[in-house]
């Protein structure tokens, strides 16, 4: 980690295949920051997120995320980078044939957890943080959309990430539930985990004003405004 920076990109050009999507990107996100990421569909938001979690390599400029250098990041290091990052998508991607507890255990075992007591304790710890301790034995279909998204956030917290990347986390939720999810993500940022939320929902941004990063016309604007 460079100083307090969880993410630091300097003069980075971002390509999808051979198409230049974003040029000369400078970006920093520090410990405990809560940041909105906005931009039209096709403006490069997803490409920017993919650079941060190691899905797109950068060939020019320099980049660091979670203590890893993104330039020439070896494929064997990508899983370790992703353990420093919690990723939350709008389509919950829960395993529908397993309980909430089993969903979390699956991820823990996949990321190297072996001690049964530690697994059990951590499961209850992350469910406590998202207010779902009582739902541990439920199946995903028994939960509301908002509760399922809370499980996804709990899953993202398992390995104590330095940063949560949330890609349209309220995209499938009603306005009241959306506000609850953003309040939860805000609380997480206040405990020291940086949170970057990509969204099209300007109503929610106005309800929770914070720093805004905007992808527009092939550029990333670090301190943008919404109209």
- Cβ neighbours of 213 (radius 10 Å): 21
Question: pLDDT (tens digit, 9 = 90+) per residue, 151-164?
Answer: 999 999 999 999 99
Do residues 52 and 7 lie in contact, with contact meaning Cβ atoms separated by under 8 Å? Answer: yes
Q: What angle do CA 152, 157, 162 make, to 5 degrees?
A: 130
- Residue 1 has what pLDDT? 44
Please say whether the dihedral angle defined by the alpha carbons of residues 25, 34, 55 and 226, taken in this order, is positive or negative. Answer: negative
Q: CA-CA distances (angstroms) from residue 62 to 12, 57, 138, 164?
A: 6, 11, 45, 21
Q: Quick one: tokens of 166? A: 């949330």
As a whole number, the mean pLDDT across the chain is 92
Question: pLDDT (tens digit, 9 = 90+) per residue, 142-189?
Answer: 999 999 999 999 999 999 999 999 999 998 899 999 999 999 999 999
Q: In terms of DSSP H, where are the helices of the chain?
A: 45-52, 78-83, 100-110, 116-129, 145-157, 175-190, 202-207
Position 227 confidence tier, pLDDT thresholds 50, 70, 90: low
The span from the CA of 200 to the CA of 9, in Å, is 23
- Residue 218 has what pLDDT? 94
- Residue 3 has what pLDDT? 59
- Residue 52 has what pLDDT? 94
**Is the pTM for the entire model greater than 0.85?**
yes
- Residue 17 has what pLDDT? 85
- Cβ neighbours of 167 (radius 10 Å): 19
- Which domains does the chain show, CATH number per domain? 32-54+85-221 (3.40.50.300)
The span from the CA of 75 to the CA of 179, in Å, is 37
Question: pLDDT (tens digit, 9 = 90+) per residue, 48-65?
Answer: 999 999 999 898 899 999
The span from the CA of 153 to the CA of 139, in Å, is 16
Question: pLDDT (tens digit, 9 = 90+) per residue, 9-48?
Answer: 999 999 988 899 999 999 999 999 999 999 998 899 989 9
Q: What angle do CA 175, 180, 183 make, to 5 degrees?
A: 125
Q: With CA atoms as reference, report the closest residue to 163 among 31, 50, 1.
A: 31
The span from the CA of 217 to the CA of 219, in Å, is 6
């Amino acid at each position: 980690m460079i100083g307090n920076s969880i993410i630091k990109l300097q003069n980075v050009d971002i390509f999808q295949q051979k198409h230049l999507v974003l040029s000369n990107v400078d970006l920093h996100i520090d410990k405990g920051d809560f940041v909105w990421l906005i931009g039209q569909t096709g403006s490069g938001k997803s490409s920017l997120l993919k650079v941060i979690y190691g899905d797109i390599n950068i060939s020019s400029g320099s980049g660091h995320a979670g203590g890893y250098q993104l330039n020439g990041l070896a494929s064997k290091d990508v899983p370790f980078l992703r353990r420093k990052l919690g990723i939350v998508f709008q389509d919950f991607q829960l395993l529908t044939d397993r309980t909430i507890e089993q969903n979390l255990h699956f991820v823990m075992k996949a990321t190297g957890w072996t001690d049964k007591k530690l697994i059990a304790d951590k499961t209850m710890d992350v469910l406590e943080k998202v207010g779902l301790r009582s739902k541990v034995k439920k199946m995903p279909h028994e939960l509301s959309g908002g509760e399922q998204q809370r499980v996804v956030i709990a899953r993202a917290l398992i390995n104590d990430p330095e940063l949560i990347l949330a890609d349209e986390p309220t995209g499938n939720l009603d306005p009241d539930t959306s506000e609850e999810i953003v309040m939860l993500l805000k609380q997480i940022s206040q405990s020291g985990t940086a949170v970057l939320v990509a969204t099209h929902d300007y109503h929610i941004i106005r309800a929770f004003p914070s720093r805004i990063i905007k992808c527009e016309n092939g550029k990333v604007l670090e301190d943008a405004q919404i109209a």
